[in-house]
Amino acid sequence: MTGIDDLPIRDELKGKSPYGAPQLDVPVRLNTNENPYPLPEPLVQRIAERVAEAARSLNRYPDRDAVELRTELARYLTRTAKHQVGVENVWAANGSNEVIQQLLQTFGGPGRTAIGFEPSYSMHGLISRGTGTGWISGPRNDDFTIDVEAATKAIAEHAPDVTFITSPNNPTGTAVEAETVLALYEAAQAAKPSLVVVDEAYIEFSHGDSLLPLIAGRPNLVVSRTMSKAFGAAGLRLGYLAAHPAVVDAVQLVRLPYHLSAVTQATALAALEHTDTLLAYVEQLKQERDRLVGELRALGYEVTPSDANFVQFGRFEGEGGAHAVWQQILDRGVLVRDNGVPGWLRVTAGTPEENDAFLDAVRDLKKEHS
Ligand code: PMP
């Protein structure tokens, strides 16, 4: 039987597996940091209207530069992130994964390197590999904050072409201070002019503010965002970035023409019309996240402070300890995530009922082991 590795694929892909959390059919799924609330019915109606309108001209290619959508995204950012941005500062693609891919195609690539501070979002490393960019795994403190001294040292040593900073970080939930981003940006630019990407996929859930204002006067700093989490639209596949207009011009060197379909653009525009309703769900999820943190601590678990819509909890001793607990929680009908961080698991904040089911499961486990 011919397998992948028998094909003449690129050497660096040999023996690798595709990224993806298990999509298991379980009553309570709290494993992929999705928003548990379906889009409200008036928004579903509005999407149907806007998509019908788009369908009438599907014989034509879509707006290649997605000007209306980028204008509305800029308006959203200006309103929520306390920093004025315009259409020229914003670029959009199919999920922030594609935004990251376009950035790596433009600023990374063969002979170049990217660095991230792990554990963090593993796709930064995987998309680096996919674009032929060398990956450097930088350090973190034991409490999962970024060790600024060690990070700036690693940047000075490797002079990477792209530096990833995820805030709030996935899978730990850790927010990054503006001073840390500035220190890493300075270190990166001192090593050589290079791109610094702040991945703010979860920023709407944070106790603190977006780092977006830092792009002012820093043309090599990019903030990436997504509608997958706060907007409850993971199925839409819409990510975007904010940066100096030159960065927006640069990524157009690699984007496929008409990469954002007319249907995607119409749907995202409809969702943006309902921003206030969707952000009200975010407030509920933040409360549920804080409740999970409190209740897990009360049960005796260690919990990493979280600014995201998920919570990292542990510690589970011994090799495979976390995975054994993951299975025991799954046996009770609740799917959480084992991100491979030794001793820790991650649970996404769901609806109050889903979170209760999760808390019942871990309470049950505690009882069994006491
Ligand atoms: N960045 C981070 C930190 C993430 O956790 C995710 C999704 N899990 C993404 C980016 C990608 O999200 P999307 O492609 O759905 O926008």
Cβ neighbours of residue 266 under 8 Å, at least 6 residues apart? 47, 50, 51, 53, 54
Amino acid 260: pLDDT: 98
**Domain CATH number, residue 249:** 3.40.640.10
pLDDT in tens, 46-93: 999 999 999 999 999 999 999 999 999 999 999 999 899 999 999 999
Please check whether residues 345 and 202 belong to one and the same domain.
no
Ligand 1 in reach of 174 Cβ (< 6 A): no
Ligand 1 in contact with 265 (CB < 6 A)? no
Tell whether ligand 1 has an atom less than 6 A from the beta carbon of residue 126: no
Distance 30 CA to ligand 1 centre (A): 15
* In a shared domain, residues 170 and 216: yes
Q: What are phi and psi of 74, to 5 degrees?
A: -65, -40
Mean pLDDT of 117-134: 96
Q: What is the mean pLDDT of residues 320-349?
A: 95
Residue 364 pLDDT exceeds 90? yes
Residue 13 confidence (pLDDT) above 90: no
Q: Does residue 1 belong to any structural domain of this protein?
A: no
CA–centroid distance, residue 184 to ligand 1 (Å)? 22
Closest C-alpha among 345, 36, 58 to residue 173 = 345
Within a domain: 3: no
Q: pTM for this structure?
A: 0.96
Q: Among residues 93, 97, 96, which one has the least CA distance to residue 264?
A: 93
13 is a domain residue: no
Instruction: Give whole-number Cα distances, 180 to 148, 152, 165, 177, 211, in Å.
Output: 6, 10, 10, 5, 11
Percent of all residues in the chain with a pLDDT value above 90, rounded to a whole number: 92
Ligand 1 touching residue 226 (CB < 6 A): yes
- C-alpha 157/C-alpha 254 separation (Å) is 29
How confident is the prediction for the chain on average, in pLDDT?
96
Please tell me whether residues 237 and 298 are part of one structural domain. no
Based on the domain organization, do 90 and 217 belong to the same domain? yes
pLDDT at 148: 97
Q: Are residues 36 and 50 in the same domain?
A: no
Provide the pLDDT for residue 32: 93
| Token digits of residue 213 | 């204002």
- Whether 120 lines ligand 1, by a CB cut-off of 6 Å, is no
What distance in angstroms lies between residue 59's CA and the mean position of ligand 1's atoms? 31
Same domain, 293 and 224: no
Residue 119 confidence (pLDDT) above 90:
yes
Is 129 part of a structural domain of the chain? yes
Domain presence at residue 104: yes
Q: Are residues 106 and 241 in the same domain?
A: yes
Domain around 309: 20-40+276-369
Antiparallel, parallel or unpaired: β 195-199 and 162-166: parallel
Write the CATH number for 340.
Answer: 3.90.1150.10
Q: What is the mean pLDDT of residues 240-247?
A: 98
Mean pLDDT over 3-15 rounds to 90
Residues 184 and 293 in one domain: no
Q: Is residue 14 part of a domain?
A: no
228 lines ligand 1 (CB under 6 A): yes
Say if ligand 1 is within 6 A of residue 234 CB.
yes
- Within this chain, do residues 246 and 103 fall inside the same structural domain, yes or no? yes
Domain boundary among 232, 258, 273: 273
Answer yes or no: is pLDDT of 290 > 90.
yes
The count of other CB atoms within 10 Å of the CB of residue 8 is 4
Paired tokens of 159: 């002079």
User: Does 11 map to a domain?
Assistant: no
Same domain for 214 and 77: yes
- From 229, 256, 273, the end of a domain falls on 273
**Ligand 1 mutation target, pool 23, 170, 176, most atoms within 8 A of CB:** 170
User: pLDDT of 165-212, one tens digit each?
Assistant: 999 999 999 999 999 999 999 999 999 999 999 999 999 999 999 999
Residue 240 inside a domain? The answer is yes
Query: Average pLDDT in the 31-43 region?
Result: 95
Q: Which pLDDT value is given to residue 12?
A: 83
Pair 32, 337: CB distance under 8 Å? yes
User: How many domains in the chain?
Assistant: 2
Report pLDDT for 199.
98
Q: Does 177 share its domain with 51?
A: yes
The answer to whether the CB of 239 is under 6 A from ligand 1 is yes
Of 273, 294, 324, the residue that ends a domain is 273
State the average pLDDT over residues 133-158. 97
> What pLDDT was estimated at residue 320?
81
d(CA 244, CA 116): 22
Q: Are residues 250 and 204 in the same domain?
A: yes
**Long-range contacts formed by 247-254: CB under 8 A, 24+ apart:** 247/91, 247/195, 247/219, 247/222, 248/88, 248/89, 248/90, 248/91, 250/106, 250/107, 251/91, 251/99, 251/102, 251/103, 251/106, 252/91, 253/106, 254/102, 254/105, 254/106
Q: Whole-angstrom Cα distance, residue 112 to residue 133?
A: 5
- What percentage of the chain reaches a pLDDT higher than 70? 100
Please report the beta strands in the chain, taking only residues with DSSP state E, as ranges in sequence order: 28-29, 90-93, 113-117, 134-138, 162-166, 195-199, 221-226, 239-242, 302-303, 310-314, 334-335, 344-348
Please report which confidence band the pLDDT of residue 276 belongs to, taking 50, 70 and 90 as the band edges. very high
